[in-house]
Amino acid sequence: MKTLGSRCTLGVLSCAFYLPLVVSFRRVTIPAELKSVVAKVAVNATSCSVTCGLGFKLEEMCEITPAGERRNCTMRRSPCLTTWGCGLLHFTVPVGKPFNFSCLSSDTVEFVSRAYTYTWRLAPGLITMNDVLFVPFRNPGFVVQFSPTRESDAGTYRCDVRMLKTFRVIKRVYFGVRVIRKDFVDLNFQKSLTHEQQLAANEVEGIKGNNTNVEVQQHFWQRKSFYKSLVGIGSGVIGVVLLRAALRSLQKTLRRSDAETQPEF
Domain of 144, CATH number, reads 2.60.40.10
One domain, residues 77 and 109:
no
What residues contact 17, with CB distance under 8 A and at least 6 apart? Answer: none
Domain count, the chain: 2
Domain that holds residue 73: 36-81
In a domain, 104, yes or no: yes
Which of helix, strand or coil describes residue 54?
strand
Residue 154 lies in a domain: yes
Residues 52 and 94 in one domain: no
Question: Is the same domain home to 74 and 96?
Answer: no
Do 47 and 130 lie in one domain? The reply is no
Is 150 within 8 Å of 66 (Cβ atoms)? no
Lowest mean pLDDT among 130-144, 212-226, 235-249: 212-226
Among 136, 160, 180, give the residue marking a domain's end. 180
Same domain (yes/no): 162, 102 = yes
- Is the pLDDT assigned to residue 101 strictly greater than 70? yes
Does 115 share its domain with 157? yes
From the list 164, 111, 162, 119, the residue with the least C-alpha distance to 140 is 119
* pLDDT-above-90 percentage for the chain: 22
Residue 232 lies in a domain: no
As a whole number of angstroms, the distance between CA 41 and CA 39 comes to 6
Residues 53 and 92 in one domain: no
Report CA-CA distances (Å) from 217 to 86, 198, 227: 43, 11, 17
Between CA 84 and CA 158 the distance in angstroms is 13
pLDDT at residue 210 greater than cutoff 80: no
Residues 171, 112 share a domain = yes
Whether residues 59 and 139 fall in one domain: no
What is the pLDDT at residue 193? 66
Question: Same structural domain for residues 52 and 132?
Answer: no
Same domain, residue pair 61 and 131 = no
User: Final residue of a domain: which of 158, 180, 202?
Assistant: 180
Which residue, of 128, 156, 180, is where some domain finishes? 180
Q: Is the pLDDT of residue 97 over 80?
A: yes
At residue 117's C-alpha, the angle toward residues 129 and 50, to 5°, is 65
Query: Do 175 and 132 lie in a common domain?
Result: yes
**pLDDT tens column, 230-252:** 777 877 888 888 888 888 888 77
Q: Report the number of secondary-structure helices (H) and strands (E) in the chain.
A: 5, 10
Q: What is the pLDDT of residues 3-59, one digit of tens each?
A: 444 444 444 444 444 444 444 445 656 566 666 677 788 888 888 888 888 888 888
Q: For the chain, what is the mean pLDDT?
A: 76
Model's pTM, two decimal places?
Answer: 0.54
Confirm whether 71 is domain-assigned: yes
**Burial category of 17 from C-beta neighbours within 10 Å (exposed 0-12, middle 13-18, buried 19 and up):** exposed
